[in-house]
Amino acid sequence: MSKTSNNHYDVIVIGGGHNGLVNAAYLGKAGKKVLVLEQRHTVGGATVTEEVYPGFKFLIASYLISLLRPEVIQELELARHGLEIMPLESTFVPLANGNYLADWPDHEATRHEIERHSKRDAEAYDEYARVMKRLAIALRPLLDMIPPDPTSVTAKDLETMARVRGVLNNMTRDDFHLLSRLMTMSAADFLDEWFEGTALKGTKCTSGIIGTFMGPRSPGTGYVLLHHYIGELDGTFRAWGFARGGTGALSQAIASAAREAGVEIKTNSPVAHVNVKNGEATGVTLENGDEYTAGIVVSNADAKRTFLKLIEPKHLPDDFVSDVNRFRIASPACKVNLALDGLPEFTSMPKGKEALLRGSIEIAPSIDYVEQAYDDAKYGGWSRKPFMDALIPSLLDPGMAPPGKHVMSLFVQYASSDLEGGWNEEKKAQFLDIVIDTLAEHAPNLKKILIHKHIMTPWDLERMIGLTSGHIFHGELALQQLFFLRPSPQWSNYRTPIKNMYMCGSSTHPGGCITGAPGRNAALAILEDRP
Amino acid sequence: MLKTTPLHSRTSALMQANQWRRWAGYCVASSYEMTHDREYYAIRNACVLLDVSPLCKYSIKGADALKFLNRLVTRDVSKISVGGMLYTPWCDSRGKILDDGTIAQLGENEYRLTSAEPNMRWLQDNAVGMQVEIFDVSDKIASMSLQGPRSRELLMTLCNAPLGGVKYYEFVNTKIAGVDVMISRTGYTGDLGFELWVDAAKAEKVWDAVVEAGKAFALQPAGIWALDVARIEAGLIMLDIDYTPANKAMTDGQTSTPIELGLNWAISWKKGNFVGRKALLAEKENGSTIQFVGLEIDHKEFERQHHELGLTVPYPFMAWRAVIPLYVDGSQVGYATSGVWSPTLKKYLAFGHVQPKYAQPGSVVTIDLTVDRYRRPFNAKVTKLPFFNPPRKKDILGEK
């Protein structure tokens, strides 16, 4: 294709993941001529719904929404563009002894349920929930902030540091001390300080390890726990919701908002490399050789993919390349989807309480169970008894499966992205069997109603969606790579060592989950530089 | 004693949270589950079944049935034929609204009127000198409302009626589980939905069949709390809440007219005389003193003020029903009567009644809301009604 003015844009966004689309929509609304280039046949990246098996819609990667910024929903008018989010109201944790632990949509009912296991915990739970809520409210403004450089004395950085200081000032001394400790300790240690019940601690610790290659006893998982508490749905913190039509429907809603703002989206357009001239990004070249030029190039891809694959290292400073090289991104997360000819019957589910099937179902009976699952995987293996966070979307949105049939979505940990000997189809099948066997221990009719099974391992998430190591957060949410350290100390404000080149993916602050925050914050940074 | 509906054996078996309420002297569910959230979301995403049997129902028959109804209500009943229905208010001679409901034409000279309140005396008084028989059939007919995007598919698995082609405000007669059922494309949710009208003695059988078939469509029993959210999104007024019926009002100031309530479209000026016509015509010519409007309250600011205080935001998930003043520049220009957070639209919606000069979409009034024990003013923008109006509400199958 020849270089015509038709191929020139104000902004090119590499990757149509949810953050890329959010970024494009904001820039489009600001009047920029924006092109989004997506390698796959559909936008969404890891935020997609796919009919892998006829009639059944699978959540092949992300599955729930909580941290999506209310600002993004409001400012892009996503409700008008078709986004509907239904809250998940309960959690069901089957236990090995035939007992169970449940979290109900009613506060008192949950208290009574915890009382069944420990009276002391039932009272501590109230206090715990209140403290976590206070921390979430206090930290909330940080999510929407472009991280400052604490070593800089520019007016801008000083002003942002003052805002950070303001956030901390809003906390009581006790809360601040608690926060400092929570940030640096393990989820297990933190929960031990509050609770005695094995099952309660088991289910609570999972917020600290979802998506990370750490166990509940690894320091740093305290922060991840808090990260998952900052999410809110219609003002309710720690609430998770299911988008009607699956998370793919969210991507479609953002894409619709972007298109309305004049953004052009091209699918089946994998980018081969970013074109750099004299230290400035000038555009991109697709794998098919097509070239597009732009005043600004934004990458929605993770830091490793962006700076180690899409850009030649010669254009980058050595210290930055080594920062990116050591960015921790090994991942343990798999996604399993099952097409079912009926509902799983959990032996521990009491009669008359089947409504619990419509919430989260967690296979996490104790901290030990989850820690053991991690231990099995940390030397390049997988859990013999994996942790699972399951959901039956077709009970909330019957459109996910044919009438009377169901879809079950399972988030599964741990299976190492660095599997010994490497991943292949045979190993995928083996691990999928382990997942099904483990779940069938709790729901023995599972194999009888199983119509189709499908797994996305870290290997698949990397080769299909382009996540390095299949990391769902584009890199670990570890203290050494958060806020002004994410993805690299000098380049945490969505800008990069290459002029006119920006990042808008989850490798930047505030990290992973469907938040839209990196996309939005990056757009604000770009508009600061190029109003 | 509170009466129970013909479906009470079924609704009470489903009740988990012991949350009952009164409706016209009957006991019905506020919500079956501990919160009404899932019941609401099912209205918009799957389907729900509501027991609406407490509606008052009147059978109106005779050579003068049409003449009688056209004299009684504001709309032109001659516009429907057998199989058709319409929504209409009716008024006293001062043009003040008494009630609102639906009229279905069941046969030649045979109609059924539904209302929120008992109307027998008013109907009889207006039938003087006419060949018309009026029967109160409220207790003889049970009604259940099946609402939501999957409701049609569900019903199509239960009966042979050509529901795909039944238009909004049409009905068909069919059988479900061997029982005669009238199915109308009506409801109080502003969504795709139907109401099933059935002999009270056989209602349980139909309910059971719908619930059984509903398993494949994520059917959820729902109560009035969920319905209340949906009806506000749909811009539908409620008697006693958004207006006081003229026969209950203690003063003129408490009454409303259909024009004030935005029901101009439901007044037929051409059909000849009807009760209240003269007064309404005068109002049409001289203008109204107050106008019903939709409002969008500035929730972002409401949220910001809570966060500033270190508080979570108390979203009004349950519809409030209260009279709250509306101001412009410190002077009261009207009042709001219902409000709720719309989980679907992500907006804080309310119904207001304001002076006509503030009734244009885009006008801004203020409303006082409580933030941590103190009342503070928030902007409320006048918005076109209905707030939520999906194409599926009126679509027919085979048409997109």
CA distance A142 to chain B (A): 13
C-alpha A61/C-alpha A406 separation (Å) is 18
Q: By the CB < 8 Å criterion, does A105 face chain B?
A: yes
B242 occurs within a structural domain: no
CA distance A77 to chain B (A): 9
The number of folded domains in chain B is 3
Instruction: Check CB contact under 8 Å for A84 and B35.
Output: no
- What residues in A contact B312, CB-CB < 8 Å? 133, 137, 235-237
Which one of B15, B16, B32, B34 would you mutate to disrupt binding with A, by most A Cβ within 10 Å of its Cβ?
A: B34
pLDDT of B46 over the 50 cut = yes
C-alpha A206/C-alpha A152 separation (Å) is 37
Pick the more confident residue, A438 or A228: A438
Check whether residue B61 and residue B195 sit in a common domain.
no
Classify residue A320 by burial, with Cβ atoms within 10 Å: 0-12, 13-18, 19+.
buried
Domain residues for the domain of B82 are 57-137+257-284
Check whether residue B113 and residue B262 sit in a common domain.
yes
- Write out the DSSP string of B170-232: BEEEEEETTEEEEEES--SSSSSEEEEEEEGGGHHHHHHHHHHHHGGGTEEE--HHHHHHHHH
Which one of A69, A73, A86 would you mutate to disrupt binding with B, by most B Cβ within 10 Å of its Cβ?
A: A86
- List the single residue in A78, A355, A398 with the smallest CB-CB distance to B150: A398
Which chain A residue has the Cα nearest residue B15? A352
B328 occurs within a structural domain: yes
Tokens coding A437:
């066997």
Check whether residue B266 and residue B316 sit in a common domain.
no
Q: Give the Cα-Cα-Cα angle A334, A337, A338 (nearest 5 degrees).
A: 140
Instruction: Check CB contact under 8 Å for B37 and A89.
Output: yes
C-alpha B189/C-alpha A352 separation (Å) is 29
pLDDT of A136 over the 90 cut = no
pLDDT digits (tens, 9 = 90+) for B198-248: 999 999 999 999 999 999 999 999 999 999 999 999 999 999 999 999 999
What is the domain-level CATH number for residue B294?
A: 2.40.30.110
Classify residue A175 by burial, with Cβ atoms within 10 Å: 0-12, 13-18, 19+.
middle
- List the single residue in B17, B37, B217 with the smallest CB-CB distance to A87: B37
pLDDT digits (tens, 9 = 90+) for A70-120: 999 999 999 999 999 998 889 999 998 899 999 988 888 899 999 999 999
Mean pLDDT of the region A466-472: 97
pLDDT of B398 over the 80 cut = no
C-alpha A221/C-alpha A469 separation (Å) is 20
What is the CATH code for A5-50+65-84+245-328+471-529?
A: 3.50.50.60
Instruction: Check CB contact under 8 Å for B218 and A397.
Output: yes
C-alpha A391/C-alpha A119 separation (Å) is 29
Check whether residue B101 and residue B156 sit in a common domain.
no
Contact residues of B toward A, CB < 8 A? 16-17, 33-35, 37-38, 41, 44-46, 150, 153, 157, 215-218, 300, 303, 307, 310-315, 317, 341, 343-347
pLDDT digits (tens, 9 = 90+) for A146-203: 999 999 999 999 999 999 998 888 888 999 999 999 999 999 999 999 999 999 999 9
- What residues in B contact A109, CB-CB < 8 Å? 34
- What residues in B contact A137, CB-CB < 8 Å? 307, 310-312
Q: Supply the DSSP symbol for A508.
A: S
Helix (H) or strand (E) holding B342: strand B331-342
Q: Supply the DSSP symbol for A342.
A: S
Check whether residue B222 and residue B355 sit in a common domain.
no
Check whether residue B131 and residue B142 sit in a common domain.
no
Check whether residue B103 and residue B128 sit in a common domain.
yes
Check whether residue B355 and residue B301 sit in a common domain.
yes
CA distance B149 to chain A (A): 10
pLDDT digits (tens, 9 = 90+) for A324-347: 999 999 999 999 999 999 999 999
**Chain centre distance of CA A161:** 27
Domain-ending residue, one of B233, B249, B273: B233
Q: Give the pairing type, strands A291-299 and A501-503.
A: parallel
B390 occurs within a structural domain: no
Domain span(s) for CATH 3.30.519 in chain A: 330-465
B19 occurs within a structural domain: yes
Check whether residue B182 and residue B45 sit in a common domain.
yes
C-alpha B51/C-alpha B30 separation (Å) is 11
Q: Point out which residues pair with A299 in neighbouring strands.
A: A14, A503
B251 occurs within a structural domain: no
pLDDT digits (tens, 9 = 90+) for A6-16: 789 999 999 99
C-alpha B361/C-alpha B352 separation (Å) is 12
pLDDT digits (tens, 9 = 90+) for A240-254: 899 999 999 999 999
Residue B294's nearest CA partner among B322, B258, B261, B320 is B261
pLDDT digits (tens, 9 = 90+) for B82-104: 999 999 999 999 999 999 999 99
Tokens coding B115:
């209302």
C-alpha B116/C-alpha B96 separation (Å) is 16
Which phi and psi (to 5°) does residue A397 adopt? -130, 95
Check whether residue B214 and residue B314 sit in a common domain.
no
- Write out the DSSP string of B231-300: HHHTT---BTTTB--TTT-SSGGG---TTTTT-GGG--SSS---TTHHHHHHHHHH--S-EEEEEEE-HH
Domain span(s) for CATH 3.50.50.60 in chain A: 5-50+65-84+245-328+471-529
C-alpha B85/C-alpha B75 separation (Å) is 11
Which one of B308, B346, B348, B371 would you mutate to disrupt binding with A, by most A Cβ within 10 Å of its Cβ?
A: B346
| Average pLDDT in chain A | 94
Tokens coding B345:
């639209």
pLDDT of A393 over the 90 cut = yes
Check whether residue B127 and residue B271 sit in a common domain.
yes
pLDDT digits (tens, 9 = 90+) for A203-230: 999 999 999 999 999 999 999 999 888 8
Cβ A102 vs Cβ A90: under 8 Å = yes
pLDDT of A138 over the 90 cut = no
Instruction: Check CB contact under 8 Å for B34 and A86.
Output: no
Mean pLDDT of the region B74-82: 97
C-alpha A436/C-alpha A446 separation (Å) is 8
Percent of chain A with pLDDT over 90: 84
What is the CATH code for A330-465?
A: 3.30.519
What number of H helices and E strands is found in chain A? 17, 20
B167 occurs within a structural domain: yes
Check whether residue B32 and residue B171 sit in a common domain.
yes
Cβ A130 vs Cβ A107: under 8 Å = no
B323 occurs within a structural domain: yes
Alpha helices in A153-278 (DSSP H): 155-169, 173-184, 187-194, 198-205, 221-229, 247-260
pLDDT digits (tens, 9 = 90+) for A15-43: 999 999 999 999 999 999 999 999 999 99
Residue for token digits 């969606």? A465
- What residues in B contact A73, CB-CB < 8 Å? 346
pLDDT of A5 over the 70 cut = no
Chains A–B, number of C-beta pairs less than 8 Å apart: 79
B174 occurs within a structural domain: yes
Residue for token digits 């494309």? B185
ipTM of the complex: 0.85
Using DSSP, state whether A112 is helix, strand or coil. helix
pLDDT digits (tens, 9 = 90+) for B156-206: 999 999 999 999 999 999 999 999 999 999 999 999 999 999 999 999 999
Q: Using 50, 70 and 90 to split pLDDT, how confident is the model at B399? A: low
The rounded radius of gyration (Å) of the Cα atoms in chain B is 21
**Buried b / exposed e along A421-451 (16+ C-beta atoms within 10 A):** eebeeebbeebbebbbebbeebbeebeebbb
Which chain B residue has the Cα nearest residue A88? B38
- List the single residue in B45, B153, B307 with the smallest CB-CB distance to A397: B45
Instruction: Check CB contact under 8 Å for A105 and B45.
Output: no
As a residue count, chain B comes to 400
- What residues in A contact B347, CB-CB < 8 Å? 79
Instruction: Check CB contact under 8 Å for B215 and A109.
Output: no
What is the domain-level CATH number for residue B202?
A: 3.30.1360.120
Classify residue A232 by burial, with Cβ atoms within 10 Å: 0-12, 13-18, 19+.
buried
Residue A395's nearest CA partner among A86, A139, A150, A65 is A86
- List the single residue in A79, A134, A399 with the smallest CB-CB distance to B310: A134
Which one of A130, A242, A244 would you mutate to disrupt binding with B, by most B Cβ within 10 Å of its Cβ?
A: A244
- Relative orientation angle of helices A198-205 and A187-194, to the nearest 10 degrees: 140
What is the domain-level CATH number for residue B68?
A: 3.30.70.1400
Q: Point out which residues pair with B243 in neighbouring strands.
A: B239
Using DSSP, state whether A91 is helix, strand or coil. strand
